Amino acid sequence: MIDKDSWQENQQEHSKDALLRSMSDRDFELYIYSLRKMAENNMESNRTFMTELYNLRAFHYKTAELMLEHPQTKFAMIVLDFANFKSINEFCGRDVGDALLKCTADALREQKQMRDYVVLSHFRADIFGMFTPYETEDDLIAIVKQIDQRISDFKIPYKVLPAFGICVAESPTMSVSIMRDYATMALNTIKGKFYAKYAFFDEKMRSQMLLNKMIENDIVGALKEEQLHVYIQPKVDMSTRQIIGGEALIRWIHPERGLVTPNQFIPVLEKNGLIIDVDIYIWTRVFQFIGGRLRNGLPVVPISINISRTHVFDKAFRECLIQLSEDFKVPPSYVVLELTESGFLENESTMYENLKILRQYGFTLSMDDFGTGYSSMTMLKNQPVDEIKIDRGFILDIKNPKSQSILSHTIAMLHELEMDIIVEGVETKTQEAFLLKCDCHRAQGFLYYKPMPLAEFESLL
C-alpha cells in the first residue's frame, strides 16, 4: 500500500508537496481514494471493445498494483497467442475468428471466477494476457490446460493452435512489461509446434536473451575493431585428397567472451538485419584474398561464401557481388554462392531474378544444407542452381541400410539431373568409402580439415 511519506517522496513538484503537508492523514487517504477511483473509472473505458477485457495499459496498471499490495503472494503472467489465427480468419471468415476470440475471453474469465487477484487482458489482435496467483508450477500448467481445453471445445472446421508462454514474477517490483516480454519469449519458442502447448521462461532462455543482447550491442564494434575473422574450410576430392576449393566461415573472437560461434550470432543478426553488413564484410575479405593471390600469380581455388536468405529479396545484393568481382578483379568462376534451401524455395520473383542474373554473370550457385528444409525433389528442376551440398544429416548413421538407400538414390538422382554434388560433415572412413562407392567424390569435413585461418589455408595451397 502507498503511505503518505513514500508518496510524498515521489512527488517532484513543490506545490503538491506543500499541499500534501497541509493535509491531515484522513484527508490524505481520501485524496488517494479519489485518485484510485478515477483511475478505475478510467480503466472501465480501457476495456477492449470486442472481448470486454482490459487493454494493455489497464492490465499493466492493475498487475503492478496487485504485486505491490500482496508482496507475499506468488504471481505469474501467462501470455496466449494463436499460431495460425490469420489462416483461421481467412479460411473460416472473420465472424468465426471473432467468435473464437470471445470464446477465449470467456475461458479466461472462468479462471478469474475460480480465484482472487486475477487480471485479464486482450492485448491486441489474437494475443491475450492473464496475471494470476499460484502456489506451484503445476497450478499454472493446470490453468493453461483448462483454457486450452475450452478453446479446443470451440467447434470450427480448422485446427486451432493456441500457445502459452509463462513467466513467474521474481519479486513484487518486477517490471510488468519485462514479465510480458519474457512470457512472450517463452511462447515464441513453441509457437506453431503441435507437440508443445506451453513453455516457461527459464534460465536457459535468460542466458540466451543476455547473449542475444550482447550480440546486438557488440556487433557494430566488432566490425570496426576487426574482431570478425574469415576462416576457410578446405573442400577435397576424396579419391585424391587434393584441395579443390574452400568455404569461408565467419569467426567472432570477442575480447571478453572469446569465440562466439556463428550458430549463436547469425540467427540474431538475421533477425535485426545486421547480417547484411556482416556478410558483405566477409565477402569483401574473400574477394580481396582471391584477388591478391591472382595478382601475385599464386594458385587459386574457388571459395564459397555464405549468403543469408535475408539478402535474396534485395537487388542490392547482386549488384554488390558484381561490384566486388570487378573491384578486386576476381573472375566470378572463383566464387561459389552458398544459399540454404529456404533461400531458393521462396516463391519470389526478385529472388529468382537475382540468382538468375548472378549465374549468368558467371557465379556458381550452390544449394546448402540440402535435405534439411522442405524442398521437394521437383523444385530442383526449376531453380537456378549448379551444385547441391548434401547436409551432414544424410551421412550421420551411414551404417543404417535405410540411410544408405536414401543417400545412394539421392546421389544417383542428382547425377541424372547433372548437378554437381558435395557432401559436408564427412568425419569417418566409413562415410568416405560409402560415398566413393556411390561415385560421389567431393567432400568437406573434419576427416580432412577443420576450418582454419586464412594464412593457414594459404600455406596449404
Under the rule (CB under 6 A), what is the footprint of ligand C2E?
233, 249-250, 261-263, 266, 275, 279, 282, 306, 308, 368-369, 392, 424-427, 444-446, 451
Task: Kindly give the residue spans of alpha helices, DSSP state H, lying in 257-377.
Answer: 262-272, 275-295, 315-327, 341-345, 349-361
CB of 279 to ligand C2E, least distance (A): 5
3-state helix vs strand vs coil in the chain, percent to 5: 50, 20, 30
Q: What are phi and psi of 57, to 5 degrees?
A: -65, -45
Q: Does 366 bind Ca ion (CB under 5 A)?
A: no
Distance between CA atoms of residues 42 and 49, nearest Å: 14
Q: Which is nearer to ligand C2E, 354 or 444 (CB)?
A: 444
Q: Which is nearer to ligand C2E, 104 or 340 (CB)?
A: 340
CA dihedral for 164, 167, 168, 169, sign (positive or negative): negative
Q: Which does 81 bind (CB under 5 to 8 A by kind): ligand C2E, Ca ion, none?
A: none
Q: Which does 446 bind (CB under 5 to 8 A by kind): Ca ion, ligand C2E, none?
A: ligand C2E
Report the 10 Å Cβ neighbour count for 9. Answer: 9
CB of 427 to Ca ion, least distance (A): 14
The number of angstroms, rounded, from the C-alpha of 403 to the middle of its chain's C-alpha atoms is 30
The number of angstroms, rounded, from the C-alpha of 350 to the middle of its chain's C-alpha atoms is 23
Q: Does 338 bind Ca ion (CB under 5 A)?
A: yes
Each residue 243-282 as x (binds Ca ion by CB under 5 A) or -, in order, gives ----------------------------------------
Q: Which does 233 bind (CB under 5 to 8 A by kind): Ca ion, ligand C2E, none?
A: ligand C2E
CB of 390 to Ca ion, least distance (A): 9
CB of 375 to ligand C2E, least distance (A): 15
CB of 67 to ligand C2E, least distance (A): 42
Among 148, 218, 368, 387, binds Ca ion (CB under 5 A): 368
CB of 306 to Ca ion, least distance (A): 5
Q: Which is nearer to ligand C2E, 315 or 450 (CB)?
A: 450
Tell me whether residue 402 is exposed, middle or buried, using C-beta atoms within 10 angstroms of its C-beta: 0 to 12, 13 to 18, 19 or more. Answer: exposed
Distance between CA atoms of residues 237 and 442, nearest Å: 5
HEC letters along 31-87: HHHHHHHHHHHHHHCCECCCCCCECHHHHHHHHHHHHHHCCCCCEEEEEEEECCHHH
Phi-psi region of 299 (alpha: psi -120 to 50; beta: other; left: phi over 0): beta
Q: Which does 232 bind (CB under 5 to 8 A by kind): Ca ion, ligand C2E, none?
A: none
Strands 364-370 and 387-390: parallel
Q: Are 182 and 201 in contact (CB under 8 A)?
A: yes
SS3 (DSSP) at 408: helix
Q: Which is nearer to ligand C2E, 76 or 351 (CB)?
A: 351
Q: Does 369 bind Ca ion (CB under 5 A)?
A: yes
**Is 424 a catalytic site residue?**
yes
Residues 6+ apart with CB under 8 A from 69: 1
Q: Does 306 bind Ca ion (CB under 5 A)?
A: yes
Q: Which does 262 bind (CB under 5 to 8 A by kind): ligand C2E, Ca ion, none?
A: ligand C2E
Which residue stretch of 75-83, 320-328, 335-343, 356-364 sits at the interface with Ca ion (rule: CB under 5 A)? 335-343
Q: Which is nearer to Ca ion, 104 or 308 (CB)?
A: 308
Q: Which does 282 bind (CB under 5 to 8 A by kind): ligand C2E, Ca ion, none?
A: ligand C2E
**H or E segment at 239?**
none
Q: Which is nearer to Ca ion, 176 or 367 (CB)?
A: 367
Q: Among residues 338, 424, 427, 458, which one is catalytic?
A: 424
CA dihedral for 173, 176, 177, 182, sign (positive or negative): positive
CB of 215 to ligand C2E, least distance (A): 14
Q: Which is nearer to Ca ion, 20 or 276 (CB)?
A: 276
CB of 284 to ligand C2E, least distance (A): 11
Contacts within 8 Å (CB) and 24+ apart, 356-359: 356/384, 357/318, 358/318, 358/321, 358/322, 358/332, 359/384, 359/386
Q: Which is nearer to ligand C2E, 146 or 403 (CB)?
A: 403
Q: Does 341 bind Ca ion (CB under 5 A)?
A: no
Q: Does 432 bind Ca ion (CB under 5 A)?
A: no
- 254-to-143, 347, 443, 455 alpha-carbon distances in Å: 44, 38, 31, 20
Q: Which does 132 bind (CB under 5 to 8 A by kind): ligand C2E, Ca ion, none?
A: none
Distance between CA atoms of residues 199 and 184, nearest Å: 10
Q: Which does 388 bind (CB under 5 to 8 A by kind): Ca ion, ligand C2E, none?
A: none
Distance between CA atoms of residues 384 and 381, nearest Å: 8
Interface ranges with Ca ion (CB under 5 A): 306, 338, 368-369
By annotation, the residues acting in catalysis are 424
